[in-house]
Structure 1
Amino acid sequence: MRNHQRMLTTGFDLGIFEQAVRSYAHGHLPVSELKGPGFPLLGDHFSPVLATLAPFYRLWPSPLTLLVAQAALFAVAVVPLASWAQRAAGRATALAVAFGYGASWGIAQAVGFDFHEVCFAVPLLAFALAALGEGRLCAAVMWALPLLLVKEDLGLTVAVIGVLVARRGRVRLGVVASAVGIVGALLEVLVIIPAFNPGQGYAYWSNLSGGGATGTESTAVLQAAHCGLTAVLLLAPTAFMAARSSLLWPALPTLGWRFLSHNPAYWGTSYHYSAVLVPIVFAAFVGAVTTRPAGQHPARTYLATGTAISVLLLPLFPLSHLVEPATWQSGARIAAAHRILDRIPDGAPVAASNRLVPQLTNRATVSEFGLPNSSPDPEWIIVDTATPQTWPTSLAQQARDIEAARAYGYRTVMNQDNYLLLHRP
């Protein structure tokens, strides 16, 4: 919430998801002007689970609704994991798992970068794997199946959970779960998403290495280094015990598409991509601790080591911002930005800088200034001319776009603290 209040959230992705939830809240399928004029979001990712936020958004139409919901969903996931750990291995294990999950860098990175649909997958996976670990196999499948409504790649995760169910004695149930997961993922990728987006089909095929990787040796080395570091950091808070449990297997589909991709954003620890892996890793940790062979080091050795690693990692990731004074301060420039934003009437079509977008998406039709597929001829343009940008445009290109807008007929309404507001009737 403080990130948003300090204008550190972005149009890509908080603005996009707010436009999706706002669409559902007003009774129609999700569209996002940020992705393009009238762009159907079910033609990008298959995430109908976002509709469950619509009633809350009607009560509180704000991007903060999404951020609070995400925090709540992440928090709920600790309940099944810690409860199972306490029943299976005692209070010390439960506390170590609860702290390790809650302080995990994967969750912190997701919270630190806007809102994403994967927040729904995290508690579903936690409940499913806790049930699986305790032998409640039917419950595990029931918790896993809704993952198909969160994102199209998670059908493969459902399939792996089905395999684990089959290995634990419920063969027919496991085979059915696996089949539903695979068929569901294929239907979403090959039929449903292309039906909503007939011009592009499933746009993310190109992220696979076969779709355009450079293939250079240096790129391959960099990719291997990033992927290896990510794998190590995922397992380190469990003292690498998680690697000993078959409950880690559901992480393989997500790691597979990430590590095979030629998109560098998928390889490392940034953004939200590791959030779905955190409940899997800690479920595997509980499974490994409770089934370790006799004669090994006492469980407290692994618990203490994992907790110490979690503490050491805290300063490297966004949860450390909670103790930074700047987090709790809002400068005069933020106040100036809000004064300028207030000049834009509700319902108006606006093109805005990336970090100004989510300040407007709850009350205006907003596109991203600087993107070629932005909505044409918005009535208003508002840009931050001081904050360095690397995406979707540079300050130099933004300055050229502003001059082009002025030549097209836009006139300056306000220019204060390096926030520029333009208007064209």
Structure 2
Amino acid sequence: MSVTRVVLSRALPGSSRRTQEAAQPATRWVWVAAVLLFAAYGTVSLRLHQRMLTTGYDLGIFEQAVRSYAHGHLPVAELKGPGFPLLGDHFSPVLATLAPLYRIWPTPVTLLLAQAALLAVAVVPIAAFAHRVVGGRGAMVVAFGYGSSWGIAQAVGFDFHEIAFAVPLLAFSLVALAEDRWRAAALWALPLLTVKEDLGLTVGAIGSVMAWRGARRTGAALAATGVVGSALEILVVIPSFNPGGRFTYWDKISASGTGTGDPQGVGNTLYHWTLGVITPDPKATMLVMLLAPTAFAALSSSLMWVCVPTLAWRLLSDNPDYWGTNFHYSAVLMPMVFVAFVDAQRSWEGRPRRHALAVAGAVGALLLPQFPLGQLLQPDTWHTSPRVAQAHRILELIPDGATVAASNRLAPQLTDRAQVTVFGFPGSRPSPQWIVVDTATPMGWPVSPEQEGQLIAQARSDGYVTVVDRDGCLLLRRQR
């Protein structure tokens, strides 16, 4: 049976106009949506960078990695330590695909715009799938829901991350899976193994759902490939590059929930693996926020099982940063829930379908101002303060190729032309030629403002001299 006949057979009964609309291709408007989202995402990211609100951890790290690839080397991130091999931290060789672009345009802006494009293009398969299932108007609701979703917005608002590559791969793979195009689903899923080591488990989940939905042989092979791939990356590849010979993120998950890896009795362990999955409150809040933009309808699709590996490592972790809605960790979940939402609509008709789409649109509109995309409507976004302009002029005094210890927010302003570490970060390269510190608005990481002051005093006693100290930007130079 052709895809068109399947779509027609699942369209709303008694609605010939809706049936004909769903059968029409959505090529033009979904690409327009992608371009608009790219413009929005790119604008937010660039304005954050221009206002010095991006950070060395993580934009600077990824730029150093891509810069290494662009010059024909395996990725090294000076920000994580002298000569630190980044493949010993996370397995993300997909970053090498940005090397040609970076060689042409060697700036962190290249990474930010690439991320914007990757996140935006994911709307194409999602919206086109929705168009085939619920028609043009419903598809526009879905496109808006995905495009404005908080998980994507948080990724846009927090530097650059390798998971941007996973978002479109997941979107194309899951749409193919929903439409029983097994080979396409597998081929789109396999590159996830090059994005990050945990995504092999997601590949395994895609294979498992594929097998359950009918493609047993292909699904089983894909599931085995994903699980084995993750195991090899975590147990063999990453430790072989890591200076300590290990995978450094094991300590993020413990059987006790205490963060120590030392169980405190059977009861505590059982709690961690049951109620501990949804407590404390940030975990439950994240789960509700994940499902609310789809009016909880996504739960009725088997595609939601693909979310399990990502949710499992986050909710079982002892790191509070993984539990909530902050940072970039939820971006990969957005294509999963929105494709599942559309897939669920195939079995819904009439009023339930309309209500679900209406609720989804309303929730998306209500959440939009609460997350980084809402910054497009804030006057401060379009204003660069004189202090930031002064800081840019001070940074220009640092020569290309110099070794620099910089505050976290100043670091990505220099990683395209200098060897940069974060000032105060343990294990950084000693005695850099330059130190530049934002003393007006310290982040409090990796050292407190008090410790930062002590380190500055120590640097001066070690022979560093003040070059500029203006508007909260302090530049020191090591005497020859």
User: Same fold by TM (over 0.5)?
Assistant: yes
8 Å contact from structure 2 (residues 298, 340) kept in 1: yes
Q: What amino acid maps onto 1:144 in structure 2?
A: A
Q: Is the 8 A contact 2:278 2:315 kept in 1?
A: no
1:81 alignment counterpart:
126
What TM-score, normalized by structure 2, do the two folds share?
0.86
TM-superposed deviation, 1:222: 8.8
Question: 2:39 corresponds to which residue?
Answer: none
Determine the C-alpha separation between the residues in 2 that align with 1:150 and 1:78: 19
Distance 1:169 1:102 in 2: 31
Match for residue 272 of structure 1 among 305, 328, 342: 328
Aligned to 2:22: none
Q: How many residues align?
A: 423
Q: CA deviation at 1:168?
A: 2.2
Equivalent residue for 2:316, pick from 253, 257, 260: 260
Q: CA deviation at 1:393?
A: 1.4
Percent identical: 62
The 5 Å alignment of 1:16-415 reads: 16-210=61-255, 213=259, 223-292=279-348, 297-415=351-469
1:352-391 CA-partner distances (Å, limit 9, x unpaired): 0000000000000000101111111100000001103231
Q: Contact 2:122–2:171 (CA<8 Å) still a contact in 1?
A: yes
Q: Distance in 1 between matches of 2:300 and 2:137?
A: 20
Give 1:182 shift.
0.5
- Opposite residue 120 of structure 1, the aligned amino acid is F
| Residues 1:26 and 1:413: Cα distance change in structure 2 (over 3 Å) | same
Given that 2:434 and 2:476 are in contact with CA atoms closer than 8 Å, whether structure 1 keeps it comes out as yes
Instruction: Note if contact 2:278-2:284 (Cα within 8 Å) is conserved in structure 1.
Output: no
Q: Aligned with 1:423: secondary structure?
A: strand
Question: Matches of 1:289 and 1:100 in 2, distance apart?
Answer: 15
1:198 Cα deviation (Å)? 4.2
- CA deviation vs aligned residue, 1:64-100 (integer Å, no higher than 9, x gap): 1000000000000000000011112211221111000
CA RMSD of aligned residues (A): 1.7
1:129, CA displacement in angstroms?
0.3
Give the structure-1-normalised TM-score.
Answer: 0.97
SS at match of 1:414: strand
- Write the letter of the residue equivalent to 1:62: T
2: CA distance, partners of 1:200 / 1:355: 30
Larger radius of gyration: 2
Over residues 88-130 of structure 1, what are the superposed CA-to-partner deviations in whole Å (9 max), with x where a residue is unaligned?
2211221111000001000000100000000000000000000
User: Structure 1: where are the runs of 5+ without partners?
Assistant: none
Report the 3-state secondary structure (helix = DSSP H, G, I; strand = E; otherwise coil) of the residue aligned with 1:51.
helix
Q: Is the 8 A contact 2:133 2:345 kept in 1?
A: no
